[in-house]
Amino acid sequence: MSSLPTIAILGAGSMGGAILHGVVSSGRAGGVTVTNRTRAKAAALADLAGVTSIALEDEPAGNARAAASADVVLIGVKPAMVPDLLAEIGPHLRAGAIVVSLAAGVTIATFERILGPDAVVLRSMPNTPAVVGKAVTGLAAGTNAGADAVAAARGVFETVGTVLEVPEERIDALSTISGSGPAYVFLLIEELTKAAIGKGFAEDEARVLAEQTFIGAAALLAASGEDPAELRRRVTSPKGTTEKAIEVLQEARLDEVFARATDAALVRTKELAAGA
Ligand SMILES: NC(=O)c1ccc[n+]([C@@H]2O[C@H](COP(=O)([O-])OP(=O)(O)OC[C@H]3O[C@@H](n4cnc5c(N)ncnc54)[C@H](OP(=O)(O)O)[C@@H]3O)[C@@H](O)[C@H]2O)c1
């Protein structure tokens, strides 16, 4: 595998930090500079191999130096901070630098307006399993992001999982599935744990049963290459016990529940984008 481009991560917190760890553990990092506000955050990343970690507390112009050092610049600060950060780094970007947003809800148009009409911009929506290298990241190309820029950004996100390229207008919908999705899965695990407690298991036993069932089923899905409906059928013998449970779950119209839940998330995304 070839080396990754030089990378800057401006705001290496939960998400930027997860991507940093993926990039470093890939063994293909071609030089990474990261910034955070506080000295403590910066110090925690300073020992990673090949990483230059800057605290803005010590070096107020650190974002400009980091941006100038990289071919791919990831923007990992909170959405409200993005416009100021872009205005700060714009004059320091290398010619042809690829700017990749991690920020939820900030449009490519905002990036291109602040950085200028020639800026090469992509927008991403990763999810928290990035921390363990199992993210799904939606990636949308801006006006000037051609195949090479998309491939460079894809290479970075593939160090923390799988990448799906979509047009920007699909990013909000994607976010309601994979961005918020880990929370839906954790909720299902919590509810199955409660059911186990209701059947008389101690809390620690209930957690083992529910959590390992989700982890094991997901691993089986990944390893088998089968689709989930087929794997479900293999557990569901005709007239058996599982069939009875599945009937009850289907009566609860989980299809409608998931459609309504993701619709609600989409409405909220639009409200947030409008500043509500
Ligand atoms: N977490 C998720 O599940 C997730 C998923 C998809 C997208 N995102 C996006 O990822 C972005 C970051 O979210 P997060 O959860 O990773 O937040 P976070 O943990 O708070 O990370 C933000 C980081 O930015 C640093 N920072 C603040 N101001 C800065 C500045 N001016 N220049 C450079 N660094 C600065 C902070 O450093 P200090 O702590 O030292 O101040 C912090 O480490 C957001 O835009 C969010 O929408 C997050």
Query: How far are the Cα atoms of 212, 225, 256 from residue 189, in angstroms, in the given order?
Result: 10, 23, 19
Last residue of a domain, one of 122, 146, 171: 171
Last residue of a domain, one of 149, 171, 193: 171
For atom 3 of ligand 1, which residue has the closest CA? 128
Residue 260 confidence (pLDDT) above 90: yes
pLDDT per residue as tens digits for the range 64-96: 999 999 999 999 999 999 999 999 999 999 999
Query: Beta strand 51-55 with 135-141: parallel, antiparallel or unpaired?
Result: unpaired
Rounded to whole angstroms, the Cα distance separating 100 from 271 reads: 23
Give per-residue burial for 23-39: e unless 16+ CB within 10 Å, then b. bbebeebebbbbbbeee
pLDDT per residue as tens digits for the range 21-42: 999 999 999 899 999 999 999 9
Closest approach atom of ligand 1 to CA 105? 47
Q: Are residues 110 and 246 in the same domain?
A: no
Q: Are residues 163 and 259 in the same domain?
A: no
Mean pLDDT score across all residues of the chain: 96
What is the tally of structural domains in the chain? 2
pTM of the predicted model as reported, rounded to 2 decimal places: 0.94
The helices-and-strands tally (H runs, E runs) of the chain is: 12, 8
Task: Answer yes or no: is 193 within a domain.
Answer: yes
Task: Answer yes or no: is 2 within a domain.
Answer: no
Range of the domain at 145: 7-171
pLDDT per residue as tens digits for the range 156-177: 999 999 999 999 999 999 999 9
Q: Are residues 233 and 136 in the same domain?
A: no
Q: Are residues 117 and 33 in the same domain?
A: yes
Please tell me if the CB atom of residue 51 comes closer than 6 angstroms to any atom of ligand 1.
no
Q: Are residues 158 and 233 in the same domain?
A: no
pLDDT per residue as tens digits for the range 114-144: 999 999 999 999 999 999 999 999 999 999 9
Task: Answer yes or no: is 87 within a domain.
Answer: yes
Q: Are residues 67 and 124 in the same domain?
A: yes
Last residue of a domain, one of 171, 203, 219: 171
Q: Output helix, strand, coil percentages for the chain, rounded to the nearest 5.
A: 55, 15, 30
- Asked whether 12 and 38 are in contact (CB, 8 A), the reply is no
Helix H segments across the chain? 14-25, 39-45, 62-68, 82-89, 108-115, 147-157, 171-174, 181-198, 203-224, 228-235, 241-251, 254-273
Task: Answer yes or no: is 176 within a domain.
Answer: no
CATH of the domain at 13: 3.40.50.720
For atom 1 of ligand 1, which residue has the closest CA? 15
Rounded to whole angstroms, the Cα distance separating 143 from 145 reads: 6
Q: Are residues 58 and 192 in the same domain?
A: no
CATH of the domain at 233: 1.10.3730.10
Task: Answer yes or no: is 1 within a domain.
Answer: no
Pocket test for ligand 1, best of 9, 15, 58, 63 (most atoms within 8 A of CB): 15
